[in-house]
Structure 1
Amino acid sequence: MALAVIVSVLALTILSLVRVNVIIAILAAGLIAGLMNGESLVSSLEVLVSGMGDQAGVALSYILLGAFAVAISYSGITSMLVGYLLRVLKDMRTFTVLVIAGIASLSQNVIPVHIAFIPILIPPLLHMFDRMQIDRRAVATALTFGLKAPYIMIPIGFGYIFHQTIQQAMESNGVSITINTIAKSLFIPGLGMVVGLLFAVFITYRKNKRPLPTEEHEEKTDQLLQKFTAERFSRKHGLTLVAIIVTLFIQAYWKDLVLAALAGLTLMFIFKVVPFRKGDRVVTEGIAMMGTIAFVMLVAAGYANVLTQTESVSALVDASSNYLGDNKALIAFVLLLVGLVVTIGIGSSFATVPILAALFVPICISAGFSTMAIAALIGTAGALGDAGSPASDSTLGPTSGLNADGKHNHIWDTCVPTFLHFNIPLFIFGWVASLVL
């Protein structure tokens, strides 16, 4: 029945917002949905577990990419990048923030290391930020932009995972769509994030951020400059670039991210960039970084399966059709609002896609939305709330780097700025995209 979906989603949101572990929250929501539809506790759990296999490939690719990211960090190539930035960007405040946004963007597509680069890149730059009086909220916004916008707009690396997750979720609910079509549908919502970044950099946080740097800051910056500029391009850096290029080629040619990540990781060991004896450590650190997200995606797919198998969604479609009618503007607004609330609770846009698709696809088909409009709504709703969520790696990652010296607050300096500058334009641009596509 329709009430089961509403109650279970509310339970999921409330449990997540009060900081109950997201996996436990999703499991509880799935069991609630099953019980309210007359299923027993055991049968509800069986339906949930049976649906987890739908995201197994995506979860595996996440873990392998996490291990690949750790292997890249072992090569020392990121230290070279830090040294270059310290040497070149000394007196260019705005350009520095934009460059950081660009580097963060590479972490999702070209060099798929996700948040692994932040603890390496950002802490050494903090004293330079203070000396240049850069507002760290601008840097947090730039980092979150780079962690989100590329996977929304570009189907490569983590972007391919996101787009593939949308494709599989839509197909599971009876709508076929290609990856290229999904990319086209998410171009307009992605532009909303570009607008948010530019607004933050050139308007909201353009003023100098005091206090002025101290002599201690100057001394530490000079020490860091000497440390990181000492790193010179070597054979292992070249071989790391070869592994990255091979990973990108395999992904682009065979459209298989698991194979691509496995190939890149294997080459790092074959080339001895990472000693074979450190293999267990690299994989373990990769699982630690990405494993939680991967498992959340599995459980979320199981929850979506409960909603569909118990016909809760079809009941909600009938009820919403009678209430909302065929007013597409209102329907799109309500669905995006649901996506914002759910994703903030879960903290993962990837994990919420299967849940949102189970709700959105039947409602949108009934209301007459096009396939591209449905993809735009699901992609936007999934991305909404990822920025600004205290539990999201898109905010936890930036805070981990910017708070290395204890001067950056997670909620007020990362979550609030990213919520305001990205969720608002994403909502507006996504809503427009659903009406014009």
Structure 2
Amino acid sequence: MEINAVLVAVIVMIILCLMRLNVVLSIFVGALTGGLLSGMSLDKVISTFGKTIVDGAEVALSYALLGGFAALISYSGITDYIVGKVIKSMKQENSQKSRLKIKITLVAVLLVISVLSQNIIPVHIAFIPILIPPLLSLFNELKMDRRLIATVIGFGLCFPYILFPYGYGHIFQSIIFDAFGKANVDIEFNNIWKAMLIPSMGYVVGLIIAIILYWKPRTYKTIKVEEEQEMKTLKPYPLIVTGLAILATFIVQTYTESMIFGALAGILIFFFSGLYNWKDLDAKLVEGIQIMAYIGVVILSANGFAGVMNATNEVGTLVESLAAITGDNKAFSIMMMYAIGLVVTLGIGSSFATIPIIASLFIPFGQEIGLSSMALIAVIGTAGALGDSGSPASDSTLGPTAGLNVDGEHDHIRDTCIPNFMIYNIPLIIFGFIAAMVL
């Protein structure tokens, strides 16, 4: 049996990540392995990788600038003030009941903010460097398992876009709609969220499992907040400037449909407000950019990986092999489609980039085995989402790690990727399978 280059490339990348090789290097080695195995020359692999990197340039720059903007918001003192108030309240009561109440509140607030970041205020992962680093001391005081935070945020970053047709969800569902159009299959846009209703319940079940598994206390080796630490005060002008910057970012991003110009609007308000001197603001801006720039580099590398995998022309071969293996067995065919979707998305790191690839293959194959349009939507949407929850190259895992690992106490693979992968993908496959069988 001939070895599939795409499958080998993804396996190599995942193994190297698990061995703690840098994610960017793992992606490059995986792409190199897959490209050479498919018969491409070394020059062809490198040139294809380099050319397709630019496809992610806009997103990478957006994340870097949003990271800088987030750092300026944090510099204004709002998050430190809120954290200080919470810690003071907790220490005043210092009871098990008050600590439990604060822990529940923190989880609920982070969950709501994560969900809103995908639709109502579509900043995606840019909120993470604003909120999470200042909260680490509080998490440690409460002995909160950071895997709980990573999975809660992971839920908020993925669940909304596969179900709600707003913000990033509108983009995701538009990609599915366009894919069906290119395959000359007529579907109604409004039916996409309906088809994804059953699969999305996999995330709800996964979230419940995550809370049960990771609610137990876990201790981290970080500096504790001192009892005598002074409460930070918040003056009116910084609050006004920060509010205006956030509002400007939201308005500009909405009208220009550009995260880059939205972030720039907010950053410029901070610089021209006279609130701080430019030297201090510049240092904080660079600090924030550095946090998110690494995510940008991974996204660029993932685009290069996707380009090489497309150039191998072996994704189609993978599906042809699937058809030969499954025959007329509908249930087995659906499971194999999910397996291929998982493999492809794990390698690319983005369900948004995966949908056009797998849809072009799954739509004709699904029609051949008798799947309805609604069932096909469920299969394609679920298969695309599978890799987002757990891929080392996904911004849905890179974002939480960027915030939780500021003090070096949170491992990207073991504490973010594996928990998200195990907790969400198994329920997703189960509910996605049910949807494909009944719709």
TM-score range with shorter-chain normalisation?
0.7 to 0.9
| Match of residue 119, structure 1, among 117, 126, 133 | 133
Q: Show the 5 A alignment for 1:10-89.
A: 10-86=11-87
TM-score by length of 2: 0.74
CA distance in 1, matches of 2:136, 2:296: 25
Q: Deviations over 1:346-365 (max 9, x none)?
A: 6x843x75367535642444
Give the 5 Å matches for 1:3-402. Answer: 3-86=4-87, 90=98, 92=101, 93-105=103-115, 110=121, 112=123, 113-116=126-129, 117-127=131-141, 129=142, 138-139=148-149, 141-146=151-156, 148-150=158-160, 159=168, 163=172, 188-201=198-211, 203-204=212-213, 223=228, 227=231, 230-273=232-275, 275-325=277-327, 327=329, 329-338=331-340, 340=342, 349-350=349-350, 354=353, 358-359=357-358, 361-368=360-367, 370=373, 372-373=377-378, 375-386=380-391, 392-393=397-398, 396-397=401-402, 399-400=404-405
**Structure 1 pair 20–253 and aligned structure 2 pair: CA distance change class (3 A):** same
Cα separation, 2, equivalents of 1:264 and 1:299 = 28
357 and 286 in structure 1: CA distance in 2 versus 1, 3 angstrom threshold: farther
Q: Distance in 2 between matches of 1:316 and 1:363?
A: 11
Q: Cα–Cα, structure 1 residues 167 and 415, in superposed 2: closer, same or farther, change >3 Å? A: closer
**Counterpart-to-counterpart distance in 2, 1:41 and 1:161:** 39
In structure 2, do the counterparts of structure 1 residues 88 and 243 end up closer, same or farther at CA, with 3 Å as the change threshold? same
- In structure 1, the partner of 2:93 is none
One-letter code of the match for 1:4?
A: A
SS of 2:390's partner is coil
Alignment length (residue pairs): 414
Aligned mates of 1:161, 1:70 — CA distance in 2: 28
Aligned to 2:405, the other structure's residue is in SS state helix
Question: Which amino acid in structure 2 is aligned with residue 192 of structure 1?
Answer: G
Partners of 2:115 and 2:228 in 1: how far apart?
A: 28
Q: Report SS of the residue matched to 2:21.
A: coil
Letter in 1 for 2:361: P
Unaligned runs of 5+ in 1: 212-216
8 Å CA contact 2:392, 2:413 repeated in 1: no
Give the C-alpha shift of residue 316 in structure 1.
Answer: 2.6
- Cα distance, 1:72 vs structure 2: 1.2
SS in 2 for 1:39: coil
C-alpha distance 95-22 of structure 1, shift in aligned 2 (>3 A)? closer
TM-score by length of 1: 0.75
Distance 1:302 1:313 in 2: 16
In structure 2, the CA distance between the partners of 1:21 and 1:144, relative to structure 1 (3 Å rule), is same
Q: Structure 2 stretches of 5 or more lacking a match?
A: 91-97
Q: Percent identity, aligned pairs only?
A: 34
C-alpha distance in structure 2 between counterparts of 1:38 and 1:323, whole Å: 24
CA RMSD of aligned residues (A): 4.4
Deviation, 1:42, is 0.6
**Are the counterparts in 1 of residues 238 and 275 from structure 2 also a CA contact under 8 Å?**
yes
Question: For 1:50 and 1:234, how far apart are their aligned partners in 2?
Answer: 49
Query: 1:184 & 1:61 partners in 2: Cα distance?
Result: 31
Greater alpha carbon shift after TM alignment, 358-367 vs 262-271: 358-367
Tell me how far 1:41 sits from its aligned partner: 0.9
Change (3 A) 1:96 1:41: closer
Q: Contact 2:81/2:233 (CA < 8 Å) preserved in 1?
A: yes
Instruction: State the distance in 1 between where 2:174 and 2:89 align.
Output: 39
- Cα 1:50–1:325 change in 2 (3 A) is farther
Q: 1:126 to 1:156 in 2, by over 3 A?
A: farther
Distance 1:102 1:417 in 2: 20
